[in-house]
Amino acid sequence: MPLVSMRQLLDEAAKGGYGVGAFNVNDMEQIQAIMMAAKETKSPVIVQASRGARQFAEDLYLFRLIEAAAELNPEIPIAMHQDHGNSFETCKSAIELGFTSVMMDGSLKSDGKTPSTFEENVEVTRKVVDFAHERGVTVEGEIGVLGGVEDGHGAGGSGLDHITDPDQAVEFAERTGVDALAIAIGTSHGAYKFTKKPDGSVLKMDILIAIHKRLPKTHLVMHGSSSVPKDLQDIVNKYGGKLKETWGVPVEEIQLGIRNGVRKINVDTDNRLAITGAIRKVLWETPEKFDPRDYLKPAREAMKAVVALRMTQFGQAGHAGDYKPVSIEEIAKGYKDGSLSTRPLVASK
Ligand code: G3H
Ligand code: 13P
Ligand code: ZN
C-alpha cells in the first residue's frame, strides 16, 4: 500500500472510535518492530521521525526504509509523520521527502526551547497548513507547551507550566485549519513525567474533554504518552541501569482520552526503555557476546511487544483492512473544495 494521509487514518479512527499510536523511529530495527506489531495485530499505523531522528538516520536512509515497510506490508495503512517540526523549512523538507503528515510545533520558537507567542504560533502554523494542504499533506499543530526536554527539544520544566487554554485552542483551530491538535494537559516528554501515579491535579483530562466538546472535528493528539511501566524500568535497573522511580501516563487515562476525541497517541520512551532493557540483559548475562544481532534481535522483539500491546489498548488493532487508501491528490482536492475543513465555525454548522 502507498503511504496514506494521516488525515484519512485519523478520520477513520474517529469513525471507529479508536486511537492510533504514533511511534518514533530512528533506525531499521524500530521500523521493523512497528511493522511486525502492526502485521500481527492488523493495525493501521503512524510512524514518526523527529528532527533528531532525521539527522541521526539521514533523510534518505530513513525514507527508503519506510518505503520498504510500505512495500513489504501492502495490507497495512502507514502514515509517515514529521514529529515536532520546529519551522516552516523543516516541515517543507519533510513534505518534499514524501512524508504524508507534519507537525508544526509552533508552541516553541524555532530554537525548539523558548515558548513562542500565540500570534507567532498561528502565523507559522498557518503557513505550513497552506503549503501542506495544497499537496494533500496532513498538519498537526500544538497549543500550550509540554514539559521536559528530549534530545535538546522542549521547554523543560513541569508539564503544568503551560497548560492549554480551551479558548485559545478554539481560536487556534479556526485561524490555522490544522487537522490535528496537540494539547498540553500536564504530560512531558521522557521517562520522568510524574512522581506518583497521576491524578486530576497533575493530569488535566478535564481540559482535554472541554476542548474536544468545542472542537469535535479536530483530532486531538496526546504527546508524552508513554506509560513508563514499572516492569520495563525494573529490567533496565536489574541489568545495571540507573533509572529513578517514576510514573508515566496510565493507559486507562489514554483510553478516557480516546473516548473524548484523542486519535493520535505519541509513544517513544516506552520503546526506548524496552530496547535498552533487552540490550542490557544480553550484555549483562552473556558478556562474551559481541555480534550486534545477538542483542538487536531481542531489542526488536521487546519493542514489538510494547507496540503490539499499545495497538491493542488504543483500539487500532483489527482495523488495518477497514478502508482503501485515498490518494494524496484526492485529499488535496478535499482541502481545496472545503470538504475536509476542520475549522470550528464550519464544523458547528
Ligand atoms: O518528542 C520527542 C520524541 O520522543 C523524539 O525524541 O527528539 O530525542 O528524537 P528525539
Ligand atoms: P514519550 O516521551 O512519553 O514517549 O512521548 C513521545 C512524544 O510525545 C513524541 O512526540
Ligand atoms: Zn511529543
Chain segment 93-126, per-residue pLDDT in tens: 999 999 999 999 999 999 988 989 999 999 999 9
- Report the separation in Å between the CA atom of 52 and the middle of ligand 1, taken as the mean of its atom positions: 7
Q: What is the pLDDT of residues 222-281, one digit of tens each?
A: 999 999 999 999 999 999 999 999 999 999 999 999 999 999 999 999 999 999 999 999
Q: Which of 269, 270, 275 to mutate to test the pocket of ligand 2 (most atoms within 8 A of CB)?
A: 269
pLDDT at 145: 82
Measured from the Cβ of residue 156, the count of other Cβ atoms closer than 10 Å reads: 11
Q: Tell me the three state secondary structure of residue 122.
A: helix
- Cell 491524578 belongs to 199
Q: For the chain, what percentages of helix, strand and coil (3-state, to nearest 5) are there?
A: 45, 15, 40
Strands 101-104 and 78-85: parallel
Ligand 2 nearest atom to the CA of residue 267, by list position: 4
Ligand nearest to the CA of 224: 2
pLDDT at 349: 45
- Cell 527539544 belongs to 153
155-157-162-164 Cα dihedral, nearest 10 degrees:
80
- Report the separation in Å between the CA atom of 153 and the middle of ligand 1, taken as the mean of its atom positions: 7
Closest CA to 7 of 140, 111, 126, 162: 140
Give yes or no for residue 52 CB within 6 A of ligand 1.
yes
Question: How many helices (H) and strands (E) in the chain?
Answer: 14, 8
pLDDT at 148: 65
Residues of the chain with pLDDT under 70: 148-159, 346-349
Considering the candidates 27, 59, 83, 231, report the single residue annotated as catalytic: 83
Q: How far apart are CA 77 and CA 25, in angstroms?
A: 17
- Report the separation in Å between the CA atom of 249 and the middle of ligand 3, taken as the mean of its atom positions: 13
Q: Tell me the three state secondary structure of residue 259.
A: coil
Q: What is the DSSP string of 177-233?
A: --SEEEE-SS-BSSS-SBSSS--TTTS-HHHHHHHHHH-TTSEEEE-S-----HHHH
Give yes or no for residue 212 CB within 6 A of ligand 1.
no
Angle (nearest 5°) at CA 309 between 233 and 261: 105
Who's near 267: CB < 8 A, 6+ residues apart? 21, 22, 23, 24, 225, 226, 306, 307, 310
Is 294 catalytic? The answer is no
Give yes or no for residue 272 CB within 6 A of ligand 1.
no
Q: What percent of the chain has pLDDT over 90?
A: 91
Maximum distance among all alpha carbons in the chain?
67
pLDDT at 345: 75
- Report the separation in Å between the CA atom of 84 and the middle of ligand 3, taken as the mean of its atom positions: 6
Give yes or no for residue 268 CB within 6 A of ligand 1.
yes
pLDDT at 150: 56
Closest protein CA for atom 3 of ligand 2: 224
Give yes or no for residue 81 CB within 6 A of ligand 1.
no
Give yes or no for residue 310 CB within 6 A of ligand 1.
no
Q: How far apart are CA 257 and CA 259, in angstroms?
A: 5
- Report the separation in Å between the CA atom of 288 and the middle of ligand 3, taken as the mean of its atom positions: 38
The reply to whether the predicted model has a pTM over 0.85 is: yes
φ, ψ at 160 (rounded to 5°): -90, -5
- Contact residues of ligand 2, CB 6 A cut-off: 24, 83-84, 189-190, 223-226, 266-269
pLDDT at 151: 54
